[in-house]
Structure 1
């Protein structure tokens, strides 16, 4: 999980101190053409992070999580996702076991790829972020000298 990687890359936690898993997962299938590929569905889940033992002040851990969510999951509010919740079990003045639950909603996108692992309607695809197509020109009107998507009718 990207959030777990972010926490480990902070250098404040050892690999053996952080464990994560997914619960209450749901897959919503639905195809949406994105031009150069498809959104084929959405997965919603609760990520559970256990930090045992946590020797950092809980405020540092929570600030790291808040920072990551603001930078990498800024659609949370629009998606109506619950705010993260957490439980702290103090082991001493300087250590605690902390469990954090974060809800996520992610799209599953795929692009056509020769010999891709996903077969769909006679073509093969790979799970990748669909690139955004940027147009440099747009033609509107009846000027037959301009390129258009549809034949010009007069």
Structure 2
């Protein structure tokens, strides 16, 4: 199971406030047509590898992966987004509580929060991105 799939599962557990939790493909569909909200879309935003940590033998590199969780909340009766702007804070708190300190099986360390950003407010919808970091190791296969 990929890191994105593991995080989607963690956000889609019982008690989730989201009506839709998906990957990047779901976000692309949302751009074309309306979907049920609140929604969360999980994707790899950036990856950076460190230098080989071994002097001899197979390659071992630390891989830092930034995971973006894009939150979308909509209230068509509020075209300026004032009401949903407040509600998005509760969604951010839920995502942070589920992911900060979470250690996927493939991870070298627990996940950490990197940043949060308001992406847009338009037509009664608020889009926000929460970014988390997860460290893993890449190893040369024998």
- Output the TM-score relative to the length of structure 2: 0.50
- Output the TM-score relative to the length of structure 1: 0.47
The structure with more helix, counted as a fraction of residues: 2
Which of structures 1 and 2 has the bigger CA Rg?
Answer: 1
